[in-house]
Amino acid sequence: MTRIRARGILKRDVTRIASPTICVREDFEIIQVQKTIKSWFDVKTRKTVKVKAKFDYVDTVETRRKRANLKQINKKIEGTFLGLWIKDTDYKKLYKNLKKEGKYEFNPNEKFLVRVFNDTNFQLGGRSYHGWWQILPRVYRPYITINHQVVAELDYKHLHPALMYSKIGCTELPLNFDSYTLDVKGFGPRHRAAIKQTFQCLINTDSEKSALSAIKSRGLSALFPFGPRVLMDQLIEKHAPISEMFFDSDLGKKLQRIDSDIAEYCMLEMLNSHKTLVLPVHDSFIVQQDMITVLQEVMSTAYKHFTDNKIAIDEKGFTLWHPFDRLSCDDLEHYKRYEEQSSWFLKKHSKESNLPFMPPDVFPEDLLSAEYIDEL
Regarding whether 184 and 147 lie in a shared domain, the answer is no
For residue 343, CA distances in Å to 1, 133, 173, 261 come to: 32, 20, 47, 35
315: exposed, middle or buried (C-beta count within 10 Å: 0-12, 13-18, 19+)? middle
Same domain, 101 and 187: no
- Average pLDDT, integer, range 177-197: 91
Asked if the model's pLDDT at residue 193 lies above 70, the reply is yes
- Residue 265 inside a domain? The answer is no
Residue 32 lies in a domain: yes
In this prediction, residue 324 has a pLDDT band, given cuts at 50, 70 and 90, of low
In a domain, 67, yes or no: yes
Please tell me whether residues 91 and 204 are part of one structural domain.
no
Q: Mean pLDDT throughout 94-114?
A: 84
Q: What is the number of alpha carbons within 13 Å of residue 138 lying toward its C-beta? A: 6
User: Mean pLDDT in the chain?
Assistant: 86
| Residue 131 domain-assigned (yes or no) | yes
Last residue of a domain, one of 207, 238, 269: 238
Specify which residues 119 forms β-bridges with: none
The arrangement of strands across the sheet holding 125-129 comes to: 47-55, 31-42, 114-117, 125-129
- C-beta separation of 299 from 265 below 8 A: no
Residue 25: pLDDT band with limits 50, 70, 90: low
The residue out of 223, 238, 253 marking a domain boundary is 238
On whether both 147 and 12 belong to a single domain, the answer is: yes
Q: What is the mean pLDDT of residues 144-157?
A: 91
d(CA 157, CA 354): 43
Verify that 97 and 197 share a domain, yes or no.
no
Domain enclosing residue 364, as ranges:
8-152+311-375
Would residue 138 count as lying in a domain?
A: yes
What's the structural domain count of the chain?
2
Asked whether residue 136 falls in the same domain as residue 190, the answer is no
Q: Both 113 and 74 in a single domain?
A: yes
Q: Give the residue with greater pLDDT, 366 vs 103.
A: 103
Q: pLDDT > 70: what percent of the chain?
A: 87
Whether residue 132 sits in one domain with residue 192: no
CB proximity list for 226: less than 8 A, separation 6 or greater: 234
How far, in whole angstroms, is CA 89 from its chain's centroid? 25
Is the pLDDT reported for residue 319 higher than 60? no
Average pLDDT for 310-322: 71
Let me know whether 93 and 41 are in one domain.
Answer: yes
Q: Picking from 15-19, 101-105, 215-219, which range would have the lowest pLDDT averaged per residue?
A: 15-19
Among the candidates 208, 238, 268, a domain finishes at 238
Q: Tell me, yes or no, whether 287 lies in a domain.
A: no
Looking at the fold, whether 229 and 319 belong to one and the same domain comes out as no
Would you state the pLDDT for residue 248?
95
- 91 and 222 part of one domain: no
Crossing angle of helices 189-203 and 251-274, rounded to 10°: 110
**Per-residue confidence (pLDDT) for residue 23, from 0 to 100:** 62
- 373 pLDDT higher than 50: no
Residue 374 pLDDT: 41
Full-model pTM: 0.86
- 175 falls within a domain: no
Residues 84 and 190 reside in one and the same domain: no
Residue 249 falls inside a structural domain: no
Residue 18 confidence (pLDDT) = 61
What confidence score (pLDDT) does residue 280 get?
A: 97
Closest by CA position to 307, among listed 277, 267, 268, 265: 265
The pLDDT of residue 128 is above 80: yes
